[in-house]
Amino acid sequence: MSGERRVALVTGGSRGIGLGIARCLAREGWDLAICGRRSADEVEVALGELRDLGAEVLYLTANVGDRADRSRLLDAVRERFGRLNALVNNAGMAPRLRADILEASEESFEELIRVNLQGPYFLTQAVANWLIEQRRSSDSFRGGIVTVSSTSAVLASTNRGDYCISKAGLSMASQLWAVRLAEFGIPVFEVRPGIIRTDMTAPVRDRYERLIGEGLLLQARWGESDDVGKAVAMLLRGDLTYSTGQIITVDGGLTIGRL
């Protein structure tokens, strides 16, 4: 196994932060399994970019909030690669409608929790058991799990409470999995991005441009998807050998308390 290229599953890896992560891993010699909600034809440009970086790429249309899709996804990874070294839980969604928590719908809450929290939690469960299986079969096996959350796990936005709660849940899930998998030598980390320039933040771009200009961040620029990707790549390289369960915040200083 030591001579084989490592394989990472990056959910939501064909756009935005996920593509930045996949790009950084491809540059470091990883092969990739990518899933997203769009068809393969719609993401061919992104997949081509990853292949040009030297990665073998498997893409599947899948919704991580759907149990059958998660099972189908892992079956496809097993069939194509026969192994998996890392899971990057990145896929997620913003609320379809930002609404004051005094008025927000239960339907929106249920959808956000299913896609952003329940799906990654149970995908991690399935992957964790596969990583344990591989670890038991080979002392040289190296595996790891990274979950991409958000500074919304700790910063309250009352017009998207469902999103904040889903990300806070992911943060606790990362700690739980770090505790449970420690005995198997499988590190688990959370990467917590701040204001990142993606299609998800495009609808509020003008607002954030103004806030950044007014000093919201210590590093006065938008975060880019590759900023997050570099953090994930560092963790999956194994650079932090004594830090499982920790949070890497990629937010330009947004969450530092200031007087």
pLDDT at position 204 = 87
Q: State the Cα–Cα distance between residues 156 and 193, nearest whole angstrom.
A: 15
Q: Could you tell me if 234 and 27 are in contact, meaning their C-beta atoms sit under 8 angstroms apart?
A: no
pLDDT at position 4 = 85
Please compute the mean of the pLDDT values over residues 178-200 and round it to a whole number.
96
Taking CA atoms, 75 is separated from 61, 88, 103, 129, 140, in Å, by: 13, 17, 41, 14, 23
What is the helix (H) or strand (E) element at residue 151, kind and residue range? none
- pTM, two decimals, is 0.96
Question: pLDDT by residue (tens digit) across 204-225?
Answer: 899 999 999 999 999 999 999 9
Angle, CA of 143, 86 and 114, to the nearest 5°: 125
Task: Provide the 10 A C-beta neighbour count for residue 237.
Answer: 14
pLDDT at position 1 = 44
pLDDT-above-70 percentage for the chain = 99
Question: pLDDT by residue (tens digit) across 35-78?
Answer: 999 999 999 999 999 999 999 999 999 999 999 999 999 999 99
pLDDT at position 3 = 64
Question: Which of 41-55, 153-167, 190-204, 240-254 bottoms out in mean pLDDT, i.e. has the lowest?
Answer: 190-204
Go through the domains of the chain in sequence order and give each one's CATH number: 7-196+223-250 (3.40.50.720)
Please compute the mean of the pLDDT values over residues 92-121 and round it to a whole number.
97
Q: State the Cα–Cα distance between residues 25 and 46, nearest whole angstrom.
A: 14
Q: State the Cα–Cα distance between residues 4 and 142, nearest whole angstrom.
A: 11
pLDDT at position 203 = 86
Beta strands, E only, the chain? 7-11, 31-36, 57-61, 86-89, 144-148, 188-193, 247-250
Which residues neighbour 125 within 8 Å (Cβ) at sequence distance 6 or greater?
none
